[in-house]
Structure 1
Amino acid sequence: MAKDSTKTTIEADGLRYRSKAPGSPFAATSSFGAATMSCFLCGKHRPRAMLKSKKLLGKSQPVCSPTCKELDELLTKP
């Protein structure tokens, strides 16, 4: 399931990507609590309220709460 690679070239004005939307999909929000972080286990970005800290590899890491699988099922439920 490899992604189709798109060939890009550097334009005269220095831009490379024409189809890429500018900015980040994880835009900064005005409040700290509404920000997203990535889960250390699954890598998906979640709001801070859906994460908990768990000690992994000797350091506290943000992980999905209660688990990644249960949270995915909860969010995809119609």
Structure 2
Amino acid sequence: MAKDDVQTKVTADGLRYRSKASGSPFGTGGVFSAATMSCFKCGKHRPRAQLKTQRILGKSQVVCDPACGQTG
């Protein structure tokens, strides 16, 4: 299997990629209530409203609420 050689150049303004979409895949970071966090147990990103804190190994961690796998 040979990889395609991708030729990129650094432009005058310092950017290399023109086709990459800007922004985060997790939404806007400006509104705290719209932010997502990952569950400590399953690792899925969920809105903060769907998470709860639970003491695991002596520290408070965020986990899915009610339980991992039961939320859509």
C-alpha contact (below 8 Å) 1:35/1:48 kept by paired residues: yes
* Change over 3 Å in CA distance of 1:9–1:58 after alignment to 2: farther
CA offset at residue 57 of structure 1? 1.8
Where does structure 1 differ by over 3 angstroms across 4 or more consecutive aligned residues? Answer: 5-10, 14-19
What CA RMSD, in Å, does the superposition of the two structures yield over aligned residues?
2.3
C-alpha contact (below 8 Å) 1:8/1:17 kept by paired residues: no
The number of residues matched between the two structures is 67
C-alpha contact (below 8 Å) 1:41/1:63 kept by paired residues: yes
C-alpha contact (below 8 Å) 2:10/2:16 kept by paired residues: no
Q: Which of the two has higher C-alpha Rg?
A: 2
Identity of aligned residues (%): 58
List alignment gaps of at least 5 residues for structure 1: none
C-alpha contact (below 8 Å) 1:9/1:16 kept by paired residues: no
Normalised by the length of structure 2, the TM-score is 0.69
CA offset at residue 28 of structure 1? 1.1
More helix by share: 1
Match of 2:53 in 1: 53
List alignment gaps of at least 5 residues for structure 2: none
